[in-house]
Structure 1
Amino acid sequence: MSALPIRRRWSLWVLAGLVLAYTIGLMVPDSGFNPFVDGFLSMAAGWTSVAVCWAAAYRAGRDRRSGRGRRDGHGRPEVLLAAGAVTANTLGDTYELIQRGTGFAGYPSPADAGYLLFYVLFLASLIVLVRRQLRGSTRTMILDSVVGSLGAASLLAVLLTPALNAAVAKPPTLGTAVAIAYPMLDLLLLAAIAGIVASHGPESGRRWMLLVSGLVIFTGADVVFALAPDLYLIGTPLDATWAIAIALITLWVDRSGAPRSTAGRGTGSMSAVAVPAVSILAGLGVLILASQAPVSGLAVLLAALTMAVATIPLIGRQRVLRVLSRTDELTGLPNRRAFYTDVPGRLGAVDAGRRSALLLLDLDRFKEVNDSLGHDVGDRLLVQVGVRLAGQLRATDLLARLGGDEFAVLLVNSGHDEAVLVAGKLRAALAEPFLLEGITLHSSASMGIAVHPDQGNDLTSLMRKADMAMYKAKSTKSGHHVYRSDDDSHGDLRLRTLQELRSAIGDDELELHYQPKVDLATGNVQGVEALVRWNHPTRGLLLPEHFLDLVEEAGLMPGLTRIVLNKALDQAVLWRAQGEQLTVAVNLSASSLVDRDLPDRVGAMIASRGLPASVLTLEVTEEFLLNDRERARDILTRLRALGVRIAVDDFGTGYSSLAYLRDLPIDELKLDQSFVFPMIDDERAATLVSSAIALAHSLGLQMVAEGVENSVAYNELVRFGCDSAQGYLVSRPVSAGELDVWLADRKVTAIVRGAS
């Protein structure tokens, strides 16, 4: 109470003192009515409660008029109704006190009118609370509140059976009606309490406990009085329970008229679960008791209603379970079960002479997102993909997530041309960047299309052919592909190659070839680029273009990258032992560069071999740098901090701003061979090469020219000031053993030329 205004705090202390004094006074044995205890203290406590309640109502009304009530929750009508209820109860007590003083004892009397009005007004206050609490609530929460109310009422009806039976047995008079009204209103009051508790409670903390405690004590006192009215004597401790209950309710009214605090809100969740459960047990117990002993019909009716309403959520949950069994829990789309269940019926309903198309969609390089950014980011990507796909389809189309990153679309009454058009729309929608965890991701998808009934009369055959078409789209990077008969053999070859590739990575069938880079100023070999080859047991030595796409599709690129780095660094150790101070360049795919652990892993590889970090150059593509510059800056900065050199491969082939040259830690640019090839015959191409070299030097970067195949291009690059060159003129990529021989021959040739 220390935070309350002084006047409010003083009035509450006065109320507490009066109730305490009244309670203690009732404990002292006396011969009957005590004017000080039963008269003065009782009335002082009652009217102090009235004053506190109306002061709270005044504050609430003032806040409503100032407009602050809407913002802070003030000015709530339950405060005014509760204040009126406390006033009505106190008026009843006052009239009864006067009645006892005059010796007039009529029944029913105006005191009963005050007491009954208390119930009516306070029930109205509770109704306002329940309505506010349940506004926007789920159907289950509302049903739980109803179950709690009915169960509590049925239990109380059993306890009040003697009083109800006695009242009903009397002649139908006003007194009989009043006698029946009291237990019925107690039932409603207890039902309202249980309903509020089951709906999580409208308040939290001590304020909420004041209301519940006060109402429970008040109802309990009423029940005791109803069960033994003839044994009741004025001035007994039972009178104190009503006074304590009214005081607790008054404290709740006082706090309800004050600014609401959000601290501690949300308590009572356990009660929200417990009350409906206890109420169901209570209803069941009442029904069992009714089969063994006389119980009022009202109690049986309330118990039966409790059990009936309790089954409604179960029915709803069964319906929900059926829906969930057909729904993908991540995206909310139909799942594989729903797709396989619904598609046959839709295919059968196709108009005569019309076609339907099945699109099978698989995200490209999705495994890299999961491996590098985590499954939670991958899940968010799938959700956004589902939203974008759904936005491009008609209401009659069926979109489903089959699992992982695989989606399926059924286009009813749509043939080949319509399916191709939709595939283009879906690809365009997915081409827009996704923003996840502050990272901009670019996604794409490969789609296989199969047309019904031309390429299959049932879903199984359509799925098989759409799947083969999808992998053809992946291998050719065409984005989408419509099934053709010759795709069957391609699918078999792909699956066989994929299995062999997995074995190759595990059985060390991959090897590196090295292409030397020459310093154009001195003619010396300064380093090599490591290029992977697959020594296939039956197909011979395979170049990267024959298997790297499949490596990407299968998510094997991280494993392949580790193999290449280990082999390249091991070879660098051997060359240094032979006196060759060669640097080694390794290409990294975009999928490898999204791995935040890459710098630490590379640093550990270099340190374990005792090599200087500058021995390694990592070549990255413009595509990665331009698609996710923030992530590129983070990873490349960490690699650069180790001492590893960074080169941009295929420079000049990007289509975006060159601002990354200013922002990112880069050491060298590798001019793409598409600029070097035409340089001899095309003056504009030569100008571009010269300008690119000048640009690199102005930024403090070195320029390496790729694809140098003749001496004319070589000499022009020397004239333009290019730093290094590699290409067939210098050497083709060769094995480490062949490179050793080539280097030895080159040294001999240099010695001979020097001697001559």
Structure 2
Amino acid sequence: MKTIWWRYLIAGVVVSAGVFSMPVGLGRDLVYCLIGASGTVAIVIGVRRHGPPHRRGWHLMAAGNAAWVLGDAIYAWFEHGLLVSPFPSVADVAYLAAYPMLAGGLLILVRSRGPENGLAAVLDSAILTVGLALVSWVFLLEPTWTGGGAPILDRIVAVAYPVGDVLLFAVLMRVVTARRDATIASLLLTGSLVAVIITDSLFVASTWVAVIDAHAQVLDLGWLAAYVLWGAAALHPSMRGLSVRAPTQVATSEKGRLAALAGSAAIVPGVLAVEVITKTPLHVWAIIIAASAFIVLFGARMLRMVGQLEHQSAQLSTLAGTDYLTGLANRRQIVDHLAWLLDSHHGAEMLVINVERFNEINDVLGDRAGEAILQAVGARLETLVGTGAMVARVADHRFGVLDPSLASAQDAEGDAARIHRALELPFDLPELNVSVEVSAAVLVLPQDASEPAQALHRADIALAAARRRPGRVARYQAKMESGGALALLLIGELADALRHGDLVLHYQPQVDLRSARVFAVEALVRWQHPKYGLLGPGAFIPAAEQSGLIGPLTQYVLDRALAQNARWHRDGLDLTVAVNLSARNLLDPHLVDHVSAALGRHGLDAGTLELEITESSAMVDPRRCIQVLTRLATMGVTLSVDDYGTGHSSLAYLQRLPVTRLKIDQSFVTNMVSDQPSAAIVRSTIELARNLHLDVVAEGVENDETLLALRDMHCPGVQGYGLGRPVPPPQVPELITRIESRIPEILRSHRPSAPSRHDQSAPFDIHPHTEPVIAFKQSAR
């Protein structure tokens, strides 16, 4: 059913071509009228089949086609029935009646499409129509009106045809300039109008052009083509779209339209040139009128174009300053506003808020949920700030607030704390309920910064400081311009540091209290920066995780640590080396292959490597982490949970992890001698590990009292500054010798005391804990 239009088109073309093989007579005229009638019937069938919203336009065009067919039939009857060809006649009434009906039908379709750059389209069609009208007047209308001395009625009817063609041309230009999407139906409809206009113009010109008059019968092919094309356009399914309201679009300049307008501007000098060359009388008044109309229309069109360009410029400016995801201002806009505030010496509060561990959120929940979270954070921020404040998304998961209504520095810090608390409340999203952790940096302008680049720079420094504070809010201070906070700003240098070997490893021993011997060392990375000296891991590890460099950094540390351990083994020092893994490492599908390749490269057994993970990192994606850790454990790698007690994991997951060791966090161990709750936590953890058949290492052993207390609790392993600080590789053998000679003396000189009733491990219950929200938080240490 969908192919009926092209079948009709092909049949119409074939039959129309066959008309010229028939002898002139009534039979030929009958076939001619049948082809015209088929066009009218095709329009009616197309309207019934496709049901366009505005049928009146198509019905008017069907009536116009029928009027032409009626004119053809009357003309044939006069010519072959009465053997006369009167002019004018009733046939001319039918012919001329078709023009307004066809034009009216097309205008209905154009108007049903909506404005669609309406004024520009009207001006463009008017300019093109004026050009055709000038040509028609000079070469068709005026010669027809003044030539031959015919009666007034004959001349009126004769010039009515070119006038009708100009009307159809004007509507055609309105159709063409109003549409942006060229469909099959629109192309067929345009083709039929072009065929009518060209054929009519040639027929009128045949009155005084002998060559055209000699081949006038060939012009029938043009009219027949118009019938067939109009019918095929109505039968095509896309005809329905010609009367459907067009979607709103941003006006754009089109090369074809501008080229047509430029050609129209050349019509006046072109007509003058032709009349001068052919030495015919100049049509001065017609040219003056047309030129005046061109000036007015082109002026209006240029004003319209300038208005469109200004509108587009405003839209582009808005888009350039808007974040595509949240609809907030973007970094460019807030920097411009910041520059204006600083230039005008206007006081303001500047907050920079970072959504922590956002990459992990994306990894666990997916990009779609991550985008929804950013949108929710931005929307909540807008409700938390004053009406005169600007909220912007300044980076991937970082937001900025500029509030010129600042009262005092104390108020700024209070605002930051209030906003921080509000942003950590759960977000009720369509598919999940989630809470996030944020850090906030505060600047008071212009005291804390005098230019935009400096303000953003210092906001980064304050953010680094905020991450290390329990409340995760910090106002910039000059003393922050050192150490780890500054190193975060230099994270762009980390890739070069990895290539150049500027990262070094220090090693801290781990002692087995049962044998009083050093059984392992933990590899701790340092950055030997050429400008800022030796930087600790807190300066760059968090930023490396956020920037995506944690993978290459871990591979670097792993390779260096195993290479050093291989050298120690060759020297007769039997040690296990421990390397820390982050959450992103556990989500790396190639981690196991990297570990296996590094062990093989340095000729070490898997048992000589210990990989430390944190509770929180293992809980990011428990299913995937368990799979990765199981493969590592199967290889023979020792796995331990670092900083145990500070995360949010459940014991059910801990039991499923293929780990063999727990490392109790130093925050509990350091003060356990003087703090009973800390001592209870350490004692319970040791008992829990024993029941789960896990080994234990207590971190943060700062003195002999703590060491002896751990001994009395039967803690198998210890680590801390009281035993030995992290040292470079050459100092490790000497440090091990010193530890192994000192520890036995301490243990012998202080025998274990009899356990009191307070030292007994009290039984405890583990209750299942169901969180109402998904929490992405880490402890501030």
For residue 521 of structure 1, report the CA deviation from its aligned partner. Answer: 6.8
Q: The residue matched to 1:710 in structure 2 has which SS? A: helix
Shift of 1:650: 1.4
Partner of 1:450: 444
- Say if 1:586 and 1:155 are closer, same or farther in 2 by CA, change over 3 A: farther
1:332-371 Cα distance to aligned partner (Å, 9 max, x none) = 7667776576568778999xxxx84230526478998999
1:316 corresponds in structure 2 to 308
Report deviation, 1:299: 5.2
Indicate yes or no: 2:27 matched with 1:36: yes
Q: Secondary structure at the match of 1:460?
A: coil
Partners of 1:445 and 1:112 lie apart in 2 by: 85
Whether the aligned pair in 2 keeps the contact of 1:370 and 1:377 (CA below 8 Å) is no
Query: Mapping of 1:455-534 within 5 angstroms?
Result: 455=447, 460=450, 464=454, 468=458, 471-477=461-467, 479-482=472-475, 487-488=477-478, 490-491=480-481, 505=497, 510-518=503-511, 525-533=518-526
Q: Deviations over 1:14-55 (max 9, x none)?
A: 785465334333256x6xx51111x21112212233333222
The residue correspondences of 1:113-192 to structure 2 (distance < 5 A) are 113-131=93-111, 133=113, 139=117, 145-146=121-122, 149-150=125-126, 152-161=128-137, 162-166=139-143, 179=158, 181-192=160-171
| Alignment partners' CA distance in 2, 1:663 and 1:145 | 71
Structure 1 equivalent of residue 233 of structure 2: 252
Matching residue of 1:67: none
Q: Does 1:93 align with 2:72?
A: yes
Cα shift at 1:242: 0.9
Q: Deviations over 1:216-269 (max 9, x none)?
A: 2222212322333466589712112111221121012112489999xxx99xxx
| Paired AA for residue 40 in structure 1 | L
Change (3 A) 1:545 1:40: closer
**2:582 aligned with 1:582, yes or no?**
no
Counting only pairs closer than 5 Å after superposition, residues 534-683 of structure 1 correspond to structure 2 as 544=537, 561-589=554-582, 602=595, 604-613=597-606, 615-626=608-619, 646-655=639-648, 657=650, 660-661=653-654, 668-676=661-669
Q: SS of 2:236's equivalent?
A: helix
**In structure 2, do the counterparts of structure 1 residues 349 and 328 end up closer, same or farther at CA, with 3 Å as the change threshold?**
closer
- Kept in 1: contact 2:9–2:232 (CA 8 A): no
8 Å contact kept, 2:642–2:665: yes
- Asked if the contact 2:323/2:329 (under 8 Å) is kept, the reply is no
Query: Structure 1's 714 and 99: CA in aligned 2 closer, same or farther, altered over 3 A?
Result: farther
| Aligned counterparts of 2:254 and 2:630: Cα–Cα separation in 1 | 53
- SS at structure 2 position matched to 1:653: coil
Q: Deviations over 1:609-658 (max 9, x none)?
A: 33345543333333444456688678767877877555432122124656
1:70 is matched with none
Q: Could you tell me which residue of structure 2 aligns to residue 357 of structure 1?
A: 348
| Of 264, 283, 286, the match for 2:267 | 286
2:36 maps to what in 1? 46
CA 1:594/1:15 → structure 2, altered by over 3 Å: closer, same or farther?
A: closer
Counterpart code for 2:102: F
TM-score of the superposition, structure 2-length normalised?
0.71
Contact conserved, 1:148 with 1:198, CA < 8 A, in 2?
yes
Q: Which residue number in structure 2 is paired with residue 740 of structure 1?
A: 733
Q: 2:755 — aligned with what?
A: none
Letter in 1 for 2:564: Q
Aligned-pair CA distance for 1:666? 5.4
Q: Distance in 2 between matches of 1:530 and 1:186?
A: 90
User: Residue 202 of structure 1: CA displacement?
Assistant: 5.2
CA distance in 2, matches of 1:144, 1:369: 52
Distance 1:659 1:116 in 2: 91
Separation in 1, partners of 2:690, 2:161 = 97
Offset of 1:193 from its aligned partner? 4.0
- CA RMSD of superposed structures (Å): 5.5
The change in CA–CA distance for 1:44 and 1:411 in structure 2 (over 3 A counts) is same
1:358 aligned counterpart, secondary structure: strand
The 3 A distance-change label for structure 1 pair 746 and 301 is: same
Alignment partner, residue 210 of structure 1: 188
How many angstroms apart in 2 are the aligned matches of 1:21 and 1:550? 78
Alignment of 1:51-62 (within 5 A): 51-60=41-50
Gap runs ≥5 in structure 1 = 62-72
Number of residue pairs the alignment of both structures matches: 702
SS at match of 2:603: coil
Q: Could you tell me which amino acid in structure 2 is paired with residue 316 of structure 1?
A: Q
Aligned in 2, Cα 1:17/1:732: closer, same or farther, shift over 3 Å? closer
1:712 is paired with a residue whose SS is: helix
Decide which of 204, 228, 232 is 1:226's aligned counterpart.
204
Partner of 1:413: 405
Query: Is the partner of 1:236 in helix, strand or coil?
Result: helix
Instruction: Give the aligned partner of residue 14 of structure 2.
Output: 20
Counterpart code for 1:359: M
Letter in 2 for 1:289: G
Aligned partner of 1:710 among 707, 711, 714: 707
Counterpart code for 1:223: S
| Cα pair 2:360 2:620 within 8 Å, conserved | no
CA-to-aligned-CA distance 1:291-326 (integer Å, 9 cap, x gap): 656565675466542574256334432454466467
8 A contact 2:640–2:663 mirrored in 1? yes
Deviations 1:142-185 (A, max 9, x none): 56745653454345335423223346769997766655554344
For residues 473 and 322 of structure 1, the distance between their equivalents in structure 2, rounded to whole angstroms, comes to 35
Cα offset, 1:565, TM superposition: 2.9
Partner SS state of residue 450, structure 1: strand
SS across alignment from 1:122 = helix
Change (3 A) 1:650 1:345: closer
- SS of match in other structure, 2:579: strand
Comparing 147-156 and 492-501, the one that deviates more: 492-501
Q: Is the 8 A contact 1:510 1:533 kept in 2?
A: yes
Instruction: Describe the SS at the equivalent of 2:713.
Output: helix
Q: Measure how far apart 1:553 and its partner are.
A: 9.2
Q: Tell me the distance in 2 between the aligned counterparts of 1:750 and 1:51.
A: 108
Within 5 Å, which residues of 2 pair with 1:338-417?
A: 356-361=347-352, 363=354, 384=375, 389-390=381-382, 392-399=384-391, 409-416=401-408
1:666-722 per-residue CA deviation (whole Å, 9 max, x = no partner) reads 56443323344566677766665566567667778655443353223234245xxx6
- Counterpart CA distance in 2 for 1:750 and 1:379 is 51
CA contact (8 A) 2:416 2:440 kept: no
**TM norm structure 1:** 0.73
The structure-2 alpha-carbon separation of the partners of 1:380 and 1:185, relative to structure 1 and needing over 3 Å to count, comes to farther
CA distance in 2 between counterparts of 1:143 and 1:443 reads 53
Segment of structure 1 superposing worse, 163-172 or 377-386: 377-386
Query: Aligned-pair distance for 1:109?
Result: 4.5
User: Conserved in 2, the CA contact under 8 Å of 1:423 and 1:480?
Assistant: yes
- For 2:693 and 2:185, how far apart are their aligned partners in 1? 70
Distance (Å, rounded) in 2 between the aligned partners of 1:659 and 1:688: 18
CA distance in 2, matches of 1:285, 1:699: 94
Residue 84 of structure 1 corresponds to 63
